Amino acid sequence: MDSLSLFCTGALLAGGLYWFVCVLGPAEQKGKRAVDLSGGSISAEKVRDNYKQYWSFFRRPKEIETAEKVPDFVDTFYNLVTDIYEWGWGQSFHFSPSIPGKSHRDATRLHEEMAVDLIDVKPGDRILDVGCGVGGPMRAIAAHSRAKVVGITINDYQVNRARMHNKKAGLDSLCEVVCGNFLEMPFQDNSFDGAYSIEATCHAPKLEDVYAEVFRVLKPGSLYVSYEWVTTEKYRADNPEHVEVIQGIERGDALPGLRSYSDIAEAAKKVGFEIVKEKDLAKPPSLPWWTRLKMGRIAYWRNHILVIVLAAIGIAPKGTVDVHDMLFKTADYLTRGGDSGIFSPMHMILLRKPKEAPSKS
């Protein structure tokens, strides 16, 4: 073999190895690889149509605000994004403040454990995860508290993923997953010892509706904590740049309309909750939650090229490229929302269902 062909063979091998390890290999992957990307419960050939259908909701904003169609639209969204989220972010579909010296995975786990510590549950208690995704938080919380966690999600593809992960983690005796709408939950009144929601109730068209359901299923005296997506006091509706960022976040994250931080406690009081504590966990001394998004930019380019190649050779559904492109842009809007301080994904509210129903006067 002459030196030129030796060089070419070496370069090819090195390129192949790089492709295998850095491109096809794990990014934040725990159980998901690029070659496994799918459209959730949507068949491969319908992914692009569903993506177009998803966008058509934003051409009729008034309809979104009022319609009962929101849960279906959210379900479509999660069919489109769940695999990409798992592949590029992991099993917990939320943000957390950065913590110096700790990995993203540890910071995520601490943010989840804080939720269950706040609701003060005991081993064996039955608690509810409102909008559980593929169950990253549920598993961390069950392992930390030894409480029995019941999660609900509107998306049946996520239900299957979550059950599979629960089994694999050996936590299926503590974690149960139900497919359903958190606006009409298939649970009995007064049946849970606590509840939490992590970056999920932002999908409800009216916050009161989901809070009322949580209130109904909680036992009197028990606690509910929610990490809410909100616009902060810095947001100005007459500033075109602010409006562009918030609309970008709504469109890329299936939100029927972001709420102001000042609406959260109001909604909770309206349905009968007592406010125990309210705090924006994104505020200093917390370190920015959006650093992880910013740092990932190079990986997103790599992912985009990979998705284009996989879709071109028929391994990934064609519409995956559009979905990935949408997420790419969403990451930028979220980063701008964080940098400018007009948006927070972790406005925490801790609520108690009163021990006794207020007397009717």
Ligand X SMILES: C=C(CC[C@@H](C)[C@H]1CC[C@H]2C3=CC[C@H]4[C@H](C)[C@@H](O)CC[C@]4(C)[C@H]3CC[C@]12C)C(C)C
Ligand Y SMILES: C[S@@+](CC[C@H](N)C(=O)[O-])C[C@H]1O[C@@H](n2cnc3c(N)ncnc32)[C@H](O)[C@@H]1O
Asked whether position 50 contacts ligand Y by CB under 6 A, the answer is no
Asked whether position 335 contacts ligand X by CB under 6 A, the answer is no
What residue 274 binds from ligand Y, ligand X, none (CB within 5 to 8 A, per partner kind)? Answer: none
From the CB of 21, what's the least distance to ligand Y, in Å?
Answer: 27
Asked whether position 115 contacts ligand X by CB under 6 A, the answer is no
Cβ neighbours, 10 Å, residue 233: 12
Asked whether position 327 contacts ligand X by CB under 6 A, the answer is yes
Asked whether position 85 contacts ligand X by CB under 6 A, the answer is yes
Rounded to whole angstroms, the Cα distance separating 125 from 150 reads 11
Asked whether position 152 contacts ligand Y by CB under 6 A, the answer is yes
Asked whether position 182 contacts ligand X by CB under 6 A, the answer is no
Given 303, 320, 335, 344, the residue binding ligand X (CB under 6 A): 303
Closest Cα to residue 202, out of 261, 157, 155? 261
Q: Are 335 and 263 in contact (CB under 8 A)?
A: no
Residues 6+ apart with CB under 8 A from 314: none
Residues 253 to 282: which contact ligand X by CB under 6 A? Answer: 253-254
From the CB of 184, what's the least distance to ligand Y, in Å?
Answer: 9
Main-chain phi, psi angles of 147, to 5 degrees: -80, 160
From the CB of 178, what's the least distance to ligand X, in Å?
Answer: 20
Indicate the helix (H) or strand (E) that contains 75.
helix 70-88
Question: What is the bridge-based pairing of β-strands 274-280 and 343-352?
Answer: antiparallel
Interface pattern 89-108 for ligand Y (x via CB under 6 A): ---xxx--------------
> Candidates 82-90, 186-194, 270-278, 311-319 — which segment interacts with ligand X by CB under 6 A?
82-90
Residues 118 to 147: which contact ligand Y by CB under 6 A? Answer: 131-133, 136-137
What residue 154 binds from ligand X, ligand Y, none (CB within 5 to 8 A, per partner kind)? Answer: ligand Y
Closer residue to ligand X (CB): 172 or 280: 280
Provide the residue type at 351 as one letter.
Answer: L
Residues 192 to 211: which contact ligand Y by CB under 6 A? Answer: 198-200, 203
- For the record, the structure tokens of 102 come out as 């700790």
Identify any residues that bridge with 39 across adjacent strands, giving them in sequence order: 42
For 68, counting Cβ atoms within 10 Å of its Cβ (0-12 exposed, 13-18 middle, 19+ buried), the class is: exposed
Given 67, 110, 183, 299, the residue binding ligand Y (CB under 6 A): 183
What residue 88 binds from ligand Y, ligand X, none (CB within 5 to 8 A, per partner kind)? Answer: ligand X
- For the record, the structure tokens of 331 come out as 């990451």
For 278, counting Cβ atoms within 10 Å of its Cβ (0-12 exposed, 13-18 middle, 19+ buried), the class is: middle
What residue 350 binds from ligand X, ligand Y, none (CB within 5 to 8 A, per partner kind)? Answer: none
Asked whether position 222 contacts ligand X by CB under 6 A, the answer is no
Rounded to whole angstroms, the Cα distance separating 336 from 200 reads 21
Angle 227-28-76 from CA coordinates, rounded to 5°: 60
Closer residue to ligand X (CB): 158 or 330: 330
With b meaning 16 or more CB within 10 Å and e meaning fewer, what string describes 292-318? bbeebeeebeebeebbeebbeeeebbe
Rounded to whole angstroms, the Cα distance separating 108 from 99 reads 10
Residues 236 to 265: which contact ligand Y by CB under 6 A? Answer: none
What residue 303 binds from ligand Y, ligand X, none (CB within 5 to 8 A, per partner kind)? Answer: ligand X
From the CB of 79, what's the least distance to ligand Y, in Å?
Answer: 10
Residues forming the site for ligand Y (CB under 6 A): 71, 74, 78, 92-94, 131-133, 136-137, 152-155, 158, 181-183, 198-200, 203
Residues that bind ligand X in the complex, under the rule CB under 6 A: 84-85, 88-89, 93-94, 199, 202, 253-254, 296, 300, 303, 324, 327-328, 330-331, 334
